[in-house]
Structure 1
Amino acid sequence: MSCGEIDIQFPFSLKGANYKGGRCNYPDPSFQLSCDNLSRTILTLPHSGNLLVKKINYEEQIIQVNDPNECLPKRFLQNLTFSISIPFIFDVTVYDFYNLVFVKCPSNITDSISLPSISCLQETNSSFLYYSFFRSYVNVSDSSSLFYGCEVISASVVVPFPNMLTWPIWPNLNSDIELIWDRPICGDCAARSQLCGFVDASTSQVGCISDPNHTTGLSRSLKYGLSIGVGIPALLCIIGLSCFICKKFKIHHRPNTELPNNISVFTLQLQPSNLLAGLDGPEIEKFPKTLIGESGRLPKPSNNMCPICLSEYEPKEMLRTIPECNHYFHALCIDEWLKMNATCPLCRNSPDAASSNVASIDDPSPNHTLHTA
């Protein structure tokens, strides 16, 4: 059952609606709602009059209301009260109550007042603006000098304020009001997506009942447990995938200006018995070098990747060759390797230093020397 956008469930009922067997009609008339000609849901309380229902939270047992004419401050001036409108009460953990003074001030002097005016109290073609102040801040007995000629409309108006309000933020007096009800207790049924109602037509005992039109839901604790059980593994999978992609990116995207971190992979694969003392700089510089030209043509096209850093050779990069085996590498990579181990990383041969020879692969001169594997 619904009225406009408001879903009406137990303990609420809609006046004029036909409920089977009367099992959905809670005996307290305060829970009877009506639907006006604008399809708005109206709550009528004995000492508060008609209120517009904006929202009902059945799980938290909260009903959100406002003035049907969209001017709640005017209702406060008419002594709107919920103190005796049981079963609906203010949640003391949410609201505090303050005495306000409502005043009417000429518009030509309101520049000195820093608080916002109450727009819904304005009269058509009126030159007055309406404001409210804390009663403890003004001397209402001297109305002639009160705020430079403002007229007191009401000297003591009880208004609910959200208790999390931080001064100097002035609340909007036309904001929706939240009321709670503590009986009957149906919040647990709503949390499990079940209906609340009389468990037996002959008694007034209230409990959760089956809804033939809906599948029984899960309790909040079980929902939280499932969320954690599914969410944590999913998060770990995302983190693992991100690390894998990051690692792959680092391997295949090596900057030319620094030595790759993964050169140590080859070091770990070697047995200590195969290692020889490294060479010094002048000895390493005697090994031949080859400069890759603009075309990117290689001495041996099938070997287009440096075995040390696993990065593809690019134009203008300098390669160095091991003379005995003709294996070539990035000059930067093999230089660092030879400083630690005087062997070829691929075949483990111990090279002898040769004379320095730098050639360009794209150089057409017949005198250049190309060292290929």
Structure 2
Amino acid sequence: MTPLLASLLLLLLLLIIPGATVAEEVEPCTSRSCGGIEIKFPFGLRGVNQSRRCSYPKFSVWCNNQSQTILTLPESGDLVINDIDYASQTLWVNDPGQCLPRRFLKGLNLSSASPCQLDPDLYNLINLTFLRCPSNLTQSLLTSVRCLNDPANSSFAVTYVWMRSIPPPWNESCEVINSSVPYPVSAIDPWSFWVDIGEDLQLTWGRPRCGLCESRGQDCGFAERMGLRTGCFSRSQESSGIPKGVKYGLTIGVGIPGVLCLIGLGCIICGKIRRRRNTRPSTDLPITAFAVQSSPFRMGLDGSTIEKYPMTLLGESRRLPKPNDNICSICLSEYEPKEALRTIPDCNHYFHAHCIDEWLRMNATCPVCRNSPTFTPSSASDSASSSVSPSSSISSSH
């Protein structure tokens, strides 16, 4: 493939592929519905064909067989969502069986580990005492919690009192179920005695911050393919009129013919350029040009030339002319006694003989300094003769 044709294909890919990628990144997730509750980012509805990037972590909800939107919170279990206000980032929840007192008796905990928490500006936590009292007493003095009553025993009813507000006339006739149950009450009137323990709890979430997007009439979603950074997207993108599958079909239908046309055009242009080069006289390309082009390519040395480089046989002390040069730069191993080393005369660098022999067969440069040895027969003989003395002295002295 010629450089011109490769450039044309690369240009086409840059025009087609980024367009499809941007459409996939910017296109918002469609909203869902369960029991009349609109489910959209940061919430995601499980059990439907929806990307995991359409919901924020820990904001996944599901629709049960009673068409209730269920939110599962850490340390709190399942709660049914009765309404969501995306602008104020508020939702109203209750027990799926409409019995929140039972949940608090079992230790319902809307702690900091939960992404949705009680608003401290709306609620105060007070300790309630839950009792099992005779029915005539609950009808006259106390309020019965119907969802906690036993239908098989109508003589007794479960009730609650706030120890701070009511004197205990029930000490002898009532059984204490739990004397300290933290329960949220309205912070607007914290001294009120009667607590409406059947109403929905109002929860809020701080992250992600999508209320600004909703107030602008935009959708909230992840701004990137990875990470948790969110952003606002125009809702006009969701109803652009062209489905995602149609966009891909148009991209493929237009892109493939375009690629074929560019390939044909590139072949025609390359053919014309080739014919023009062939029609030029041979005198236009001097012989020196070929010599200059071929000069940078150097092959390795032949075996006879390598064998003329000086050899050194190490003794037991592994003493070298360069004491600090005790590691082969090719295999990175220390020199051992009785090993044969070879030296490059021009730079006087030592290596294992078998390492440097393999290197010089493929490269005509020193592995350390990258200098090209200027080997001549005279220099080889001189360097070989000069290396006989140290080589023999090292091996013989040890």
Instruction: Please give the TM-score of this superposition, normalised by the length of structure 2.
Output: 0.49
Is residue 138–residue 146 contact of structure 1 (8 Å, CA) maintained in 2? no
Distance in 2 separating the partners of 1:139 and 1:109: 14
**Contact 1:48/1:82 (CA < 8 Å) preserved in 2?**
yes
Alpha-carbon spacing, 1:205–1:135, altered in 2? closer, same or farther (3 Å): same
Matched, 1:157 2:157: no
Residues 167, 137 of structure 1: alpha-carbon distance in 2 compared, 3 angstrom cutoff: closer
Aligned mate of 1:106, from 131, 134, 137: 134
Q: SS in structure 1 opposite 2:54?
A: coil
In the alignment, which residue of structure 1 is the partner of 2:41? 10
Question: Aligned to 2:59, which of 27, 31, 49?
Answer: 31
CA–CA distance in 2 between the matches of 1:173 and 1:138? 17
State the structure with bigger RCO (CA 8 A, min sep 6), 1 or 2. 2
Q: Give the aligned partner of residue 325 of structure 1.
A: none
2:84 maps to which residue?
A: 56
- Report the equivalent of 1:319: none
Q: Tell me if structure 1 keeps the 8 A contact 2:128–2:161.
A: yes
Q: Distance in 2 between matches of 1:214 and 1:177?
A: 35
Say if 1:165 and 1:184 are closer, same or farther in 2 by CA, change over 3 A: same
Residue 103 to residue 202, structure 1, CA distance change in 2 (3 Å): closer
How far the C-alpha of 1:23 sits from its partner, in A, is 3.1
2:143 is the counterpart of 1:116: yes
Equivalent residues in 2 for 1:290-309 (5 A)?
A: none
Quote the Cα distance in structure 2 between the aligned partners of 1:109 and 1:169: 17
Shift of 1:168: 4.6
**Structure 1 portions without partners, runs of 5+:** 216-373
Match of 1:332 in 2: none
Do the aligned partners of residues 95 and 168 (structure 1) sit closer, same or farther apart at CA in structure 2, a change above 3 Å counting? closer
Paired residues for 1:143-182 under 5 Å = 146-165=170-189, 167-168=191-192, 170-182=194-206
Q: Is the 8 A contact 1:118 1:129 kept in 2?
A: yes
Aligned counterparts of 1:193 and 1:74: Cα–Cα separation in 2:
40
User: Among residues 79, 89, 95, which one is paired with 1:67 in the alignment?
Assistant: 95
Distance of 2:54 and 2:139 partners within structure 1: 56
Distance 1:54 1:147, change over 3 A: same
SS in 1 for 2:102: helix
CA distance in 2, matches of 1:108, 1:68: 30
Name the aligned partner's letter for residue 147 of structure 2: C
Q: Is the partner of 2:137 in helix, strand or coil?
A: helix
Aligned equivalents of 1:39, 1:109: Cα separation in 2: 39
Shift of 1:10: 0.6
* Distance apart, 1:148 and its partner CA: 4.1
Partner residue, 2:216: 192
Q: Give the Cα–Cα distance (whole angstroms) in 1 for the partners of residues 125 and 227 of structure 2.
A: 39
One-letter amino acid of the structure 2 residue matched with residue 24 of structure 1: C
Of 122, 125, 147, 1:97 maps to 125
**8 Å contact 1:102–1:133 — kept in the other structure?**
yes
Whether the 8 Å contact between 2:87 and 2:212 is mirrored in structure 1 is: yes
8 Å contact 1:47–1:84 — kept in the other structure?
no
Maintained 8 Å contact 2:86/2:214: yes
CA distance in structure 2 between the partners assigned to 1:49 and 1:138 by the alignment: 32
Matches within 5 A, 1:123-138: 123-126=150-153, 127-137=155-165
Is the CA contact (8 Å cut-off) linking 1:53 and 1:63 kept in structure 2?
yes
Q: CA deviation at 1:112?
A: 4.2
Q: After superposition, where does 1:195-274 map in structure 2 within 5 Å?
A: 195-211=219-235, 212-213=237-238
The 3 A distance-change label for structure 1 pair 97 and 168 is closer
CA contact (8 A) 2:74 2:114 kept: no
Contact 2:73 2:115 in 1 (8 A): no
Give the deviation of 1:209 after TM superposition: 1.1
Matched length: 207
Give the share of equivalent positions with the same residue, in percent: 41
Question: What's the C-alpha RMSD, in Å, of the aligned pairs?
Answer: 2.2
Structure with the larger helix share: 2
**1:130 CA displacement:** 1.6
TM-score normalised by L of structure 1: 0.52
Task: For residue 185 of structure 1, give the secondary structure of its aligned residue in structure 2.
Answer: coil
Tell whether the 8 Å contact from 2:135 to 2:157 is kept in structure 1 after alignment: yes
Residue in 2 that maps onto 1:238: none
Q: 2:341 matched to which residue of 1?
A: none
Question: Against the structure 1 CA distance between its residues 168 and 11, is the aligned structure 2 distance closer, same or farther, given a 3 Å change threshold?
Answer: closer
Contact 1:19 1:25 in 2 (8 A): no
Which one of the candidate residues 31, 36, 43 is aligned to 2:71? 43
- DSSP-derived class of the 1:43 partner: strand
Distance 1:135 1:167 in 2: 12
